[in-house]
């Protein structure tokens, strides 16, 4: 066991902020000592977006009951889980990046003492255009997601990364954050 726990980068942000694109950008450029945890989601594998483990609701519930998740939450009619392998990686001194949920941040902070929250966001205009472009939500659902995004303030100590422009610019800022050691 390593004598220092790794950092858990808990990435959050509204739908359409570009979290998946930025995480893919960073994943391709970071060394192997930074682990990108996939999520277990009750969403079909071909639904687009992030690479995840698709589970039926019954499978998810059985895994949750069996202690297979270090963290689990429900949002927008789906169930999400972070596998216990993330705890093992942290215990080995590896940094772990996870696409989390702002609604589960308090639970995650209580569970992971090395957690560093990261809020990725974009302007309402950019969010609206990206949500419409992906074609997964109706106009009413997009409006609801934009209202939710506008009503959230990142907690104290949370890094904020704006992603309104070129992917490379925000991606390089993300790389800088993920490779900087806390003081």
Q: How confident is the model at residue 2 (pLDDT cuts 50, 70, 90)?
A: very low
Q: Quick one: which of 15, 74, 77, 90 has its CA closest to 39?
A: 74
> Considering the chain, what percentage of its residues have pLDDT values greater than 90?
63
**Residue extents of the structural domains in the chain:** 8-178
CATH no. for 8-178: 3.40.50.300
Least confident of 2-6, 26-30, 158-162: 2-6
Question: Does an H or E element contain 145, and which?
Answer: helix 139-150
Express each pLDDT in 32-46 by its tens digit. 779 999 899 897 767
Global confidence as pTM: 0.86
| DSSP-H helix ranges across 4-138 | 19-29, 57-65, 85-91, 105-111, 124-134
- The two three-digit tokens of residue 31, written as one number: 């060394």
Mean pLDDT of 147-158: 84
For the chain, the 3-state helix, strand and coil shares in percent, each to the nearest 5, are 40, 25, 35
CA distance 70 to 67: 8
């Amino acid at each position: 066991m390593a004598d220092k726990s790794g950092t858990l980068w808990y990435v959050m942000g509204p739908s359409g902020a570009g979290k998946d694109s930025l995480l893919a950008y960073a994943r391709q450029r970071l060394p192997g000592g930074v682990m990108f945890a996939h999520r277990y989601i009750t969403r079909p594998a071909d639904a687009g977006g992030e690479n995840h483990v698709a589970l039926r609701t019954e499978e998810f519930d059985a895994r949750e009951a069996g202690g297979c998740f270090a963290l689990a939450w429900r949002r927008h009619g789906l169930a999400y889980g972070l596998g216990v392998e993330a705890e093992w990686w942290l215990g080995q001194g590896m940094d772990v990046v996870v696409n989390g949920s702002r609604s589960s941040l308090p639970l995650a902070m209580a569970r992971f003492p090395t957690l560093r929250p990261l809020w990725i966001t974009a302007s309402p205009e950019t969010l609206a255009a990206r949500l419409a472009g992906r074609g997964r939500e109706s106009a009413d659902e997009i409006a609801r997601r934009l209202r939710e995004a506008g009503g959230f303030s990142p907690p104290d100590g949370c890094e904020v990364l704006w992603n309104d422009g070129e992917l490379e610019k925000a991606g390089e800022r993300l790389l800088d954050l993920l490779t900087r050691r806390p003081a």
